[in-house]
Structure 1
């Protein structure tokens, strides 16, 4: 993914760059993620484990 500076056909020119790919909802992105089960220590009721997925995301709102 890259940020591009699109040329406007008319009106005011853009001030900020925009991504060259469409945005995607997080639940749709996490469906295709590679999940991994990680345990970090033994608790009183057994191993403490969690399922994790690491993904790179870009915030779609707010200041650049």
Structure 2
């Protein structure tokens, strides 16, 4: 999925790797906080799915 997004942006002429590298070099703490929020949202999403599946199994 992420690779497909990268290919699409590359076709549009947007340098994804260069932009990410520039973001990390200019403000690494802000970049890490954005990545942390993304990871946290994925963990919460996985937890919700697990809880929903568990509630269906108990019924």
Report the TM-score, using the length of structure 2 for normalisation.
0.19
Higher relative contact order (CA 8 A, sep 6+): 1
Structure 1 or 2, whichever has the larger Rg, is: 1
Instruction: Considering fraction of residues, name the structure with more helix.
Output: 2
Instruction: Considering fraction of residues, name the structure with more strand.
Output: 1
